[in-house]
Amino acid sequence: MEDKPKIESRLRTAVRRKGYSYRTEESYVGWYRRFVKFHDLRHPETMGAAEVEAFLNHLAA
């Protein structure tokens, strides 16, 4: 059984399929990493709207 690709890899694949530039890809990955780091490296699949809201409020503060 194959392992599911890591989220960051799936994010990169999705961005590339949309034809976005490399700089945009790097920006999206950077924001993904900041989000995960803000939540003490919790796996994103364990988080929901409350965590997104907390991150956005942190950015706005």
The domain of 14 spans 7-60
Q: Is residue 29 part of a domain?
A: yes
Q: How far apart are CA 42 and CA 44, in angstroms?
A: 6
For the stretch 5-61, pLDDT in tens is 799 999 999 999 999 999 999 999 999 999 999 999 999 999 999 999 999 999 999
For the chain, how big is the Rg over CA atoms in Å?
13
Q: Is residue 1 part of a domain?
A: no
- Indicate if the pLDDT at residue 1 is higher than 50: no
**What pTM, to 2 d.p., does this model score?**
0.87
Q: Is residue 23 part of a domain?
A: yes
Q: What CATH number did the domain enclosing 48 receive?
A: 1.10.150.130
For 39, phi then psi, to 5°, come to: -100, 35
Q: End-to-end distance of the chain based on CA atoms, in angstroms? A: 45
